[in-house]
Amino acid sequence: MSKAMKLLIDSDIYNSFFTISLLFLINAFNLKNYLLAQNTVMGKDMEMSTKKLVVGLAGMPGAGKSVVVNVAVKMGYGVVVMGDVVREEAAKRRLEPTPENLGKIMLELREKEGNNVIAKRCVSKIEKAKEQKVIVDGVRSLSEVEEFKKHFPKFTLIAVHASPETRFKRLYHRGRSDDPKNFEVFHERDMRELSVGLGKAIAMAEHIIINEEKLETVKEKIREVLEKVERKWMR
Amino acid sequence: MSKAMKLLIDSDIYNSFFTISLLFLINAFNLKNYLLAQNTVMGKDMEMSTKKLVVGLAGMPGAGKSVVVNVAVKMGYGVVVMGDVVREEAAKRRLEPTPENLGKIMLELREKEGNNVIAKRCVSKIEKAKEQKVIVDGVRSLSEVEEFKKHFPKFTLIAVHASPETRFKRLYHRGRSDDPKNFEVFHERDMRELSVGLGKAIAMAEHIIINEEKLETVKEKIREVLEKVERKWMR
């Protein structure tokens, strides 16, 4: 070892340099870990949600939204039902999910959190879903579509359609507690759905599935449409 | 001849009776002719217009309304174009059919004659059409549908649909003077059409024809839909 070297090692200059280097290294290591951690907590989630394929589904009452959802589930889609947001809010408030209560809660939520409150709450549901493909049942307006598109670049709006006559017959025979007992009640509900902008959403859909034929034919058509949507985002 | 008979023939009573009978006969004949005439002028027309099969056609810009109309014409349908009402009014006023002039005339007509002015003017056009089947191109709202249904019990609303992407490409390449030069102009026009209620009409259509496939396939589909509509009113 040269005299000069020995001098350097013993010197404060060398010690200082070593310490600084070490500190630097530790910091760099921490920074890397920090970044990695961030990536998992936020960065990766963000990345995943922008990568998520989200299909919005619009349709008049009785058009056959549930048929579309069932096919999607079999194809590996997660499901977010927009109507559940209000029902969950009712449960949280320990209120019966009567049409009146749900209507009131909906109005209240909109007043407090804006017109897109339902879509916004669904965004976090979609983000939390474990599936990379999610179908959102019950899109009812173009402003909801905008909200979804803001968060999920791979968002596609589809719709399902049947004639009023077919839809009425279906709902009449389904006989769920909230299904119409006569044509007037059915028509009123149609007009209510249209008044929030459902017609606009249907008219602007990328694909409309016609649900007037045999169930198997329609299911095949739904599969085709969803495959088309997936191919679109893979190109 | 008996004396009594001879007396009767010579008598004024017989003459009066004969005259009255004759007058009655002439009147009856006239009445029949009158009724027949009325029937042609009004009665028969009325009967014919209630018997007329009227198909209302709704669709977003570029969806393919003209394709549907062309197939209908080949099937013997008369055509009434709702947009022509405003263009004709412009011609009557010796105004250029610029979008601004047409917009102004539309507003004026609505103010003077109510929101359904276009539909009302089309009703008389349909009544005057020589064809027993008429297609109405460009239905844009449910109140227009109501107007048509009031006059034509055999009214059926159909729609034609394509995705916004497909529609924009079509209009862009069609290059008609009023076709959009960019996506923003296209989107604005979409929103204007939806704001008058076109989405509601599409959502409530009895049949929606999807116009995304090869022209021949779509034409076949249109024929099927129109045949279905005709069968419905024949049962």
Q: What is the pLDDT of residues B4-24, one digit of tens each?
A: 556 555 656 556 655 556 555
- Closest-CA residue in chain A for B160? A203
In B, which residues are within 8 Å of A60 by CB distance?
Answer: 203-204
- Closest-CA residue in chain A for B63? A203
Paired residues of A78 in beta bridges: A134
Res. B35 pLDDT band, cuts 50 70 90? very low
Query: Residue B209: in which H helix or E strand, if any?
Result: strand B207-210
- Distance between B61 CA and the closest CA of chain A, angstroms: 11
| Cβ contact A203–B203 (<8 Å) | yes
For the cut 80, the answer to whether the pLDDT of residue B92 exceeds it is yes
On whether any CB of chain A is under 8 Å from the CB of B88, the answer is no
Strand-by-strand arrangement of the A53-59 sheet: A78-81, A133-137, A53-59, A155-161, A207-210
Specify the pLDDT at position B168: 96
- Distance between A68 CA and the closest CA of chain B, angstroms: 17
Specify the pLDDT at position B180: 81
For the cut 70, the answer to whether the pLDDT of residue A3 exceeds it is no
- Closest-CA residue in chain A for B59? A203
Enumerate residues 6+ apart whose C-beta is below 8 A from A139. A56, A57, A58, A82, A145, A148, A157, A201
Instruction: Output phi, psi for A19, to 5 deg.
Output: -60, -45
| Cβ contact B203–A202 (<8 Å) | yes
- Distance between A53 CA and the closest CA of chain B, angstroms: 18
Mapping DSSP to helix (H, G, I), strand (E, B) and coil, where does residue B127 land?
Answer: helix
Nearest to B163 among A198, A200, A206 (CB): A206
Q: For the segment B169-214, what is each residue's pLDDT rounded down to a tens digit? A: 999 988 777 778 889 999 999 999 999 999 999 999 999 999 999 9
For the cut 90, the answer to whether the pLDDT of residue A100 exceeds it is no
Measured distance CA(B16)–CA(B20) in Å, rounded: 6
For the cut 90, the answer to whether the pLDDT of residue A76 exceeds it is yes
Measured distance CA(B193)–CA(B178) in Å, rounded: 14
Domain A52-234, what fold?
Answer: Rossmann fold (3.40.50)
On whether any CB of chain A is under 8 Å from the CB of B201, the answer is yes
For the cut 80, the answer to whether the pLDDT of residue B216 exceeds it is yes
Specify the pLDDT at position A42: 47
Nearest to B161 among A194, A197, A208 (CB): A208
Count the helix, strand and coil residues of chain B and give each as a percent rounded to the nearest 5: 65, 10, 20
Residue of A204, A207, A224 to mutate, testing the B interface (most B Cβ within 10 Å of its Cβ): A204
Query: Looking at residues A50-55, what average pLDDT do you find?
Result: 90
Q: For the segment A146-195, what is each residue's pLDDT rounded down to a tens digit? A: 999 999 999 999 999 999 999 999 999 887 777 788 899 999 999 999 99
| Cβ contact A194–B200 (<8 Å) | yes
The ipTM estimated for the assembled molecules is 0.78
| Cβ contact B161–A203 (<8 Å) | yes
Q: Which of residues 174-193 of A touch B (CB under 8 A)?
A: 190
- Closest to A72 measured CA to CA, from A158, A171, A161: A158
In A, which residues are within 8 Å of B164 by CB distance?
Answer: 204, 206
Measured distance CA(A222)–CA(A159) in Å, rounded: 10
Paired residues of B233 in beta bridges: none
Q: For the segment B36-67, what is each residue's pLDDT rounded down to a tens digit? A: 444 444 444 455 556 899 999 999 999 999 99
Q: For the segment B162-173, what is each residue's pLDDT rounded down to a tens digit? A: 999 999 999 998
Quote the strand ranges of A138-210, DSSP E. 155-161, 207-210
In A, which residues are within 8 Å of B205 by CB distance?
Answer: 161, 163
Query: Looking at residues A209-224, what average pLDDT do you find?
Result: 97
In A, which residues are within 8 Å of B222 by CB distance?
Answer: none
Mapping DSSP to helix (H, G, I), strand (E, B) and coil, where does residue B80 land?
Answer: strand
CB pairs under 8 A between A and B: 58
| Cβ contact B60–A194 (<8 Å) | no
Query: Looking at residues A20-34, what average pLDDT do you find?
Result: 55
Comparing A9-23, A200-214, B34-48, B155-169, the range with the smallest average pLDDT is B34-48
Q: For the segment B98-144, what is each residue's pLDDT rounded down to a tens digit? A: 878 888 898 899 889 988 999 999 999 999 999 999 999 999 999 99
Query: Looking at residues A208-213, what average pLDDT do you find?
Result: 97
Q: For the segment B132-145, what is each residue's pLDDT rounded down to a tens digit? A: 999 999 999 999 99
Measured distance CA(B85)–CA(B87) in Å, rounded: 6
User: Of all residues in chain B, what percent carry a pLDDT higher than 90?
Assistant: 65
